[in-house]
Structure 1
Amino acid sequence: MKIGDYLLSELAGRGVRHLFGVPGDYSLPFLDQVLAHPDVEWVGNCNELNAGYAADGYARIAGLAAISLTYGVGELSAINAVAGAYAERVPVVVLGSLPARRALDAGRVVHHGLGDADWRRVIRAYGEVTAAQTVLTPDNAVVELTRALDIAVTERRPVYVGLPADVPTVELPTAAPALAEIHGLTSAPGELAAFASAAERLVKAAKRPVVLVGHELARLGLAAEIERLATGLPVAMTAIGKGQIDEQAVDWIGTYLGPASPDGVRETVEQSDCVLALGTIFSDTETAGFSAALPESAMIVVRPENATVAGKPFGPVAAADALHALAELLGTRDSAVRPTKTRVYEDGPLTQNPLWTEVTASIRPGDIVVLDQGTASFGMLDYRMPSGVSYLAGTLWGSIGYSLPAALGAAVAAPDRRVVLLIGDGSLQLTAQELSTIARVGANVTIVLVNNNGYTIERAINGPHAVYNDINHWDHAALVRALCGPDVPMTPVRTIGELRSALDGDGFRVIEAHTQPLDLPTRLDVFVSAVKAAQG
């Protein structure tokens, strides 16, 4: 077996059935192997940044993804997307196609480089945004590829695998080398016991316990454990934790954003005598600019590798062990799932709040909801998702334009599920090219494009009429025809009734929802006010 075929088979064995990327001359021999492989399909993207975003969306649904990038120019084009995957714990395998070994060994200056022979510059850059880096050779391919893939899956982080152009077509050595074992994090017995003892004192005395869910533990596959632990307790989510567990399976009370929280949520969390913060990182987004008043003396915080009780750290403590210990302390409780009430709007001009109410009402169990950072991500925070919905948002990294390629990746990973993409006109302009790829692969994506003439989230923060928050007005109907062909439905809506009718359907289509530039979802308006107040 040749090294390239072995690499593809190893990816396929871990659930990667598609490879995203852009071809380059260094990668072409390997891409020929991709086209010939029975289990991995090539999905070409319009540029490398989009390929990285698509791989992120794919990995959040399939569990692992891979992208092929050519040396230098391609690798650096995608590094922003890979950094976002690192920040949000999404495992993406970056396959960097390098010049052939003879050029590397001879120290030759080659194209796509920086005008010198230091070909490791880009690998060093990737060292900052990946959990492991390696360059495959015929002698190390089995050991190093296995190590990198194991780290990606175990740590839920991107990894970098360099492929010199001549290596994929070299046959593997006949003698298989010994593989080093990669284990997930294990708890130090003394630390786990000390954590459990400290947590017991807080849990047993608690009269008003509450669960606060972030994103990190669900990324590790612990969503079901969180749901079982939370049974019978009120459950709030951070903005980044939104949708990471089944919101219908718990007593969901809403999104916690410090002083920007919905009525009752802030009081429930901040007045609790035992806050079980599971996978939360307390960034500025989660705390409305660090203006939250969380009671440290009542906090039990569980992170992937450690935990704290009332500010005292314990570690190493594996998250799965910490959750098990807390479940034992909490014991068995009856379910207390309360239904949520959603306001029904009469027909009239479309504004932000009824926009998100109608979108939520159209979401079905099993859908994949993808949101861009902006009015969409804030507009959906107050709405409870149906069971079985996957919720994709790059909330922590916050790179606008992420959602369109991510929706492509999610749709490729799960072709039997409907993807609902919620994106603003400003975000669309960063990655609009990938509309053509969605059309080419025939993905089942419903796009709700919010046309509010610019960067409304930035207008809310500063400069409501500033030119830097303006964008050139696009004819979106003409754009869809040009990129996707004449058969993709494009429906403009300006009233609640028109939106309600347009949302009823399947297949690739675009709904252009017109709202005013300074019209904000309630949660975004309150959030910005809270941040400004905190900054004085």
Structure 2
Amino acid sequence: MSTTRHYINLTNSLFPLPGYAADGYARIKGISALVTTFGVGELSAINAIAGAYSEYVPVVHIVGTPSTLSQADGMLLHHTLGNGDFNVFSNMFRHVSCVVSMLNDPHEAATLIDNAIRECYVKSRPVYLTLPIDMVQQKVEGERLRTPIDLSFPLNEQEKENYVVDVVLKYLHVAKNPVIVVDACAIRHRVLDEVHQLAETSGSPTFVTPMGKGAVNETLPNYGGVYAGDGSRASVRDRVESSDLVLSIGSIKSDFNTAGFTYRISQLSTIDFHSTYVRVKYSEYPSVRMNGVLRKIIARMGRLNIGAGFKPNNTLPAVEPESSAQTITHAWFWPRMSQWLRPKDIVITETGTANFGIWETLFPADVTAISQVLWGSIGYATGACQGAALAAKELGINRTILFTGDGSFQLTAQELSTMIRHELKPIVFVICNDGYTIERYIHGMDAAYNDIQIWKYKDLVAVFGGVEDKTARTFQVRSKTEVEALFSDKEFSAAPFLQLVELYMPKEDAPLALKLTAEANTRNNAKA
């Protein structure tokens, strides 16, 4: 990795938005930094940091604190609880950080900083550093800057690694119809090169989970789609669940990632690859990282017994093109978007209908998908879009595309202002369906608490300083014909500046996967 370090610096925030932005930036660039003030700022960010921790996103959180003298004297300062305890907030962050370090001594500060950055990157989780105001100008030993931080992953013990490889190959060579299922931790723990080689070399039908969307080149002939138990297409579910060997890479078996825990894969036919262990059926091999194991499997694999698979397609469901109805439905929109997306696009979906709808979108090569399926903080995606768009700007990636619901957007809409200020160019689709449709399906289809005040969403661009046709554009689409016209608009598709689209869908319409997941959750919640 280059010794150049890229951070997103967001100071004195009283909202979780900068934390969401740091999360989105890290998912694109590999690591980020967030700067907050003591107490009020850091606690506003703790929701975002907890989300990054749960989803394995590397964020360096730097907290500006009162002077070491003020802390030692227990002074009654603003932003404190008034009890003289200056460790109370850092103690909270110990539960959502893999390293907590106080930079109170200039003699050890450099060591602590380097260690935190390394642990953040290698473990792919947030770290927490406090920087007292009287330490900012202190001098530290600079010689260590001549040596890049070692960000390499720890090597497996070779004898143990070779043994695990032999065990895996034994089962792989006798399997009649093996499949590969790729999940989020394959992305977070940086094994996508190995995943791609495994998929291409083996020819095995390869699937992703909802959290693993974008981890596999979906133009591969053996890419099979999204597997999420009962939320999957029938052909996908049957192919995965009938397999006699599932190579599961980086799995996170949360409720939404498994469509309400509806996986039907026996551990007796599963090999799990993770960052800290490999599990072959019911035998677990601790301290064996998947990177080295996967590389050796690929090198020694040879020819496998691959059963007949199926090739997915991105054509519209048959019933939709034949319908004369102009209503924009989820069943029509998400497959249709497959043909509009471009290679290298960054696609961000909010927890809600978009997170489930994107399962039915077939990506071109090299598309990066961002979603928060496990933590599921409403409003996350708009903040993450800001960070991802900033990273995209630095990397020369042209299009960052956000899909968020109107209810979610209302929680973090002010992030549009930051995007406009930094001349970022995302395409923002606000799905206007009169409130929290995902919550309606989970609990309360007609409940008032799932309704929202209707906004004039596209007018917010002007409110936040965007100038129509100069620094921003806004659109309103209410029919399939208008969607087609929008997707055919070359200037719109070129993403020359920030663009916001009001996309109108029926209040009670939802992707089939969401409906199935909600039904499974209802059954689980009803259990004693």
TM-score using structure 1 length: 0.88
**Bigger mean CA offset, 311-320 vs 500-509:** 500-509
* Distance 1:535-1:327 versus aligned 2 partners, 3 A rule: farther
Distance 1:98 1:436 in 2: 28
Q: Secondary structure at the match of 1:489?
A: strand
| Residue of structure 1 equivalent to 2:401 | 420
1:365 matched to 2:365: no
What are the equivalent positions in structure 2 for 1:136-535 lying under 5 Å apart?
136=103, 137-173=105-141, 184-231=153-200, 232-249=203-220, 251-331=222-302, 338=311, 340-343=313-316, 346=321, 348-415=326-393, 416=396, 417-487=398-468, 488-503=472-487, 504=489, 505=492, 506=495, 507-533=497-523
Distance 2:348 2:214 in 1: 11
* Distance 1:266-1:491 versus aligned 2 partners, 3 A rule: same
Do the aligned residues in 2 keep the contact of 1:210 with 1:272 (CA within 8 Å)?
yes
Deviation at 1:216, TM superposition (A): 0.4
1:119 matched to 2:86: yes
Q: Secondary structure at the match of 2:35?
A: strand
Q: Secondary structure at the match of 2:223?
A: strand
Q: Secondary structure at the match of 1:103?
A: helix
Deviation at 1:48, TM superposition (A): 3.9
Deviation at 1:246, TM superposition (A): 2.2
* Distance 1:63-1:181 versus aligned 2 partners, 3 A rule: closer
Distance 2:46 2:237 in 1: 37
Do the aligned residues in 2 keep the contact of 1:211 with 1:236 (CA within 8 Å)?
yes
Do the aligned residues in 1 keep the contact of 2:59 with 2:120 (CA within 8 Å)?
yes
CA offsets 1:265-303 (integer angstroms, 9 cap, x no match): 111111111100000122222222222211211100001
Q: Secondary structure at the match of 2:82?
A: coil
Deviation at 1:500, TM superposition (A): 2.2
Do the aligned residues in 2 keep the contact of 1:291 with 1:531 (CA within 8 Å)?
no
Q: Secondary structure at the match of 1:19?
A: coil
Do the aligned residues in 1 keep the contact of 2:314 with 2:361 (CA within 8 Å)?
no
Percentage identity across paired residues of the two chains: 33
The size of the alignment, in residue pairs, is 503
- The correspondence for 1:22, drawn from 11, 22, 25, is 11
Q: Secondary structure at the match of 2:95?
A: coil
TM-score using structure 2 length: 0.90
Do the aligned residues in 2 keep the contact of 1:218 with 1:245 (CA within 8 Å)?
no
Residue type at the aligned position of 2:171: L
Do the aligned residues in 2 keep the contact of 1:21 with 1:48 (CA within 8 Å)?
no
Distance 1:47 1:512 in 2: 28
Residue type at the aligned position of 1:395: V
Distance 2:14 2:145 in 1: 37
* Distance 1:167-1:252 versus aligned 2 partners, 3 A rule: same
| Residue of structure 2 equivalent to 1:38 | none
Residue type at the aligned position of 1:385: F
Distance 1:354 1:378 in 2: 13
Do the aligned residues in 2 keep the contact of 1:215 with 1:280 (CA within 8 Å)?
yes
Deviation at 1:338, TM superposition (A): 4.1
| Residue of structure 1 equivalent to 2:20 | 53
Residue type at the aligned position of 1:143: T
* Distance 1:429-1:101 versus aligned 2 partners, 3 A rule: same
Do the aligned residues in 2 keep the contact of 1:208 with 1:273 (CA within 8 Å)?
yes
What are the equivalent positions in structure 2 for 1:16-95 lying under 5 Å apart?
16=6, 18-23=7-12, 47-95=14-62
Deviation at 1:106, TM superposition (A): 2.0
Deviation at 1:157, TM superposition (A): 1.0
Residue type at the aligned position of 2:362: R
* Distance 1:125-1:310 versus aligned 2 partners, 3 A rule: same
Deviation at 1:383, TM superposition (A): 1.9
Deviation at 1:363, TM superposition (A): 1.2
Distance 2:478 2:351 in 1: 22
Distance 2:336 2:425 in 1: 20
* Distance 1:182-1:97 versus aligned 2 partners, 3 A rule: same
Distance 1:178 1:493 in 2: 55
Distance 1:173 1:295 in 2: 55
Distance 2:329 2:451 in 1: 19
What are the equivalent positions in structure 2 for 1:97-116 lying under 5 Å apart?
97-116=64-83
* Distance 1:208-1:177 versus aligned 2 partners, 3 A rule: closer
Q: Secondary structure at the match of 1:74?
A: helix
Distance 1:422 1:519 in 2: 16
Do the aligned residues in 2 keep the contact of 1:227 with 1:249 (CA within 8 Å)?
no
Do the aligned residues in 2 keep the contact of 1:147 with 1:182 (CA within 8 Å)?
no
Residue type at the aligned position of 2:477: V
* Distance 1:96-1:367 versus aligned 2 partners, 3 A rule: same
Distance 1:325 1:282 in 2: 26
Residue type at the aligned position of 1:184: F
